[in-house]
Amino acid sequence: MDDTTPATKSDLQKLEQRLEQSMDRRFTRIHEDIDRVLSILVKVKNKTDDHEQRIGILEEAVV
């Protein structure tokens, strides 16, 4: 398909298919990135919770 000839139904279907595949790939990457970020946040939260517990124990020991 070029700019000098009108698009056929087949051309439009191919274009639509390529756009769908491209969007699928992009959304897959976005979901993978979201999963990575969530994983990091869970690790940070666990470490924060652990530090809070240790601080609580130290505070009790000081009192």
Of the two residues 14 and 5, the one the predictor is more confident about is 14
Structure tokens at 32: 């993978």
Which pLDDT belongs to residue 56? 94
User: Rounded to whole angstroms, how far apart are CA atoms 1 and 15?
Assistant: 10
Q: What value does the mean pLDDT take over residues 21-25?
A: 98
Residue type, 13: Q
Q: What value does the mean pLDDT take over residues 48-58?
A: 95
Global model pTM greater than 0.75: no
What is the H or E stretch that residue 49 is in?
helix 9-62
**Predicted confidence (pLDDT) at residue 63 exceeds the cutoff of 90:** no
